[in-house]
């Protein structure tokens, strides 16, 4: 930058000499540093940078169309410029124009994302809610995590209990869907562990007591790897009610 300041001083000295000389054609040329752009853009294919405000002055640089250079002032119709290589010179106003970068539009504020809606709340019947409460009471006593209703698992369990009544069977294997695990796959349910209890009894309390008194069924109810459940209950002419409990862990 020191070099450019020296060169710029030389240019100003030349300007002063020209201004003082009554015979110079540039005697009335005034140097201005007001109302000038910070930069100029070259509008011709190539433009010489001169040591003074005229084509008879020494060429000190070359710039090309579209190049943007720093502007220090104006001498008549010539821009005083500072080139990237730290050279100071002048460029004819006929070969360039003031450069004013377009003001970037103020970006519209990004709207805050809408909070994700909570998972669909499954409407349980009174019997289903009572059975869920009994199961979670037992799990609380055992110190294991409470079970939550999974909407898709709930749909599967209710489908299974309905089918057991309409197709008159009592089995973990559905004639339509196969095993409980095949049925989970059909319903698009992902899991890392899974199990199923089925029961036929006259009431929720009686079914729950019977299941808790049978070790394999009790093991499913208290299994700490399960955290979701679906409960299907359908009125049955043979049993009073059919109960299906489907468990998964994930």
Query: Which CATH number characterizes residue 48's domain?
Result: 2.30.30.40
What digits encode the pLDDT tens for the residues 105-137?
Answer: 777 776 666 554 454 478 999 999 999 999 999
For residue 20, pLDDT over 70 is answered with no
DSSP-assigned letter for residue 173: S
**How far is CA 108 from its chain centroid?**
17
237 plus 184 within the same structural domain: yes
Question: Tokens 């955290």 appear where?
Answer: 227
CB burial string 64-76: b at 16+ within 10 A, e below: eeebebbbbbbbb
* Average pLDDT for 195-205: 97
131 plus 193 within the same structural domain: yes
What's the residue count for the chain?
250
**Residue 35: what pLDDT?**
74
**Residue 225: what pLDDT?**
95
**Residue 24: what pLDDT?**
38
Question: Tokens 């209950």 appear where?
Answer: 233
63 plus 152 within the same structural domain: no
Lowest mean pLDDT across 72-81, 161-170, 194-203: 72-81
CA separation for the pair 101, 24 (Å, rounded): 37
Among 98, 116, 147, identify where a domain stops.
98
**Residue 174: what pLDDT?**
96
Could you tell me if 71 and 40 are in contact, meaning their C-beta atoms sit under 8 angstroms apart?
A: yes
Could you tell me if 76 and 19 are in contact, meaning their C-beta atoms sit under 8 angstroms apart?
A: no
**Residue 109: what pLDDT?**
76
Higher pLDDT residue, 107 or 193?
193
Whether 57 maps to a domain, the answer reads yes
* Average pLDDT for 52-67: 92
What digits encode the pLDDT tens for the residues 208-226?
Answer: 999 999 999 999 999 999 9
* Average pLDDT for 79-107: 87
239 plus 153 within the same structural domain: yes
Confidence of residue 27 (pLDDT cuts 50, 70, 90): very low
Could you tell me if 73 and 33 are in contact, meaning their C-beta atoms sit under 8 angstroms apart?
A: yes
* Average pLDDT for 48-72: 92
Whether 24 maps to a domain, the answer reads no
Residue 76: partners with Cβ closer than 8 Å, 6 or more residues away = 26, 29, 30, 53
The pair of structure tokens assigned to 2 is 């020191």
Confidence of residue 170 (pLDDT cuts 50, 70, 90): very high
End-to-end Cα, the chain, rounded Å: 67
42 plus 94 within the same structural domain: yes
Domains of the chain: total: 2
- By three-state DSSP, how is residue 192 classified? coil
Whether 40 maps to a domain, the answer reads yes
* Range(s) of the domain holding residue 82: 31-98
Lowest mean pLDDT across 84-88, 106-110, 164-168: 106-110
**How far is CA 193 from its chain centroid?**
32
CA separation for the pair 86, 74 (Å, rounded): 18
For residue 19, pLDDT over 50 is answered with no
What is the Cα Rg of the chain in Å? 44
**Residue 187: what pLDDT?**
97
158 plus 87 within the same structural domain: no
Could you tell me if 220 and 226 are in contact, meaning their C-beta atoms sit under 8 angstroms apart?
A: yes
């Amino acid at each position: 930058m020191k070099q450019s300041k020296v060169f710029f001083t030389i240019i100003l000295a030349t300007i002063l000499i020209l201004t003082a000389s009554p015979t110079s054609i540039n005697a009335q040329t005034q140097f201005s540093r007001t109302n000038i752009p910070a930069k100029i853009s070259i509008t011709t294919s190539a433009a010489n940078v001169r040591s003074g405000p005229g084509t008879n002055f020494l060429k000190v640089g070359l710039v090309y169309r579209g190049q943007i250079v720093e502007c220090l002032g104006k001498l008549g119709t010539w821009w005083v410029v500072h080139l990237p290589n730290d050279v100071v010179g002048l460029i004819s106003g006929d070969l360039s124009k003031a450069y004013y970068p377009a003001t970037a539009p103020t970006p519209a504020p990004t709207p805050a994302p809408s909070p994700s809606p909570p998972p669909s709340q499954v409407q349980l019947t009174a019997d289903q809610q009572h059975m869920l409460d009994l199961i979670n009471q037992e799990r609380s006593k055992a110190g294991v995590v409470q079970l939550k209703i999974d909407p898709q698992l709930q749909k599967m369990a209710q489908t299974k209990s309905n089918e057991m009544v309409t197709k008159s069977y009592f089995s973990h294997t559905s004639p339509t869907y196969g095993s409980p695990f095949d049925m989970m796959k059909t319903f698009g349910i992902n899991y890392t562990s899974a199990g199923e209890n089925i029961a036929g009894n006259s009431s929720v309390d009686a079914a729950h007591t019977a299941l808790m008194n049978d070790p394999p069924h009790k093991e499913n109810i208290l299994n700490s790897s399960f955290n979701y459940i679906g409960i299907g209950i359908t009125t049955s002419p043979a049993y009073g009610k059919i109960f299906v409990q489907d468990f998964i862990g994930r």
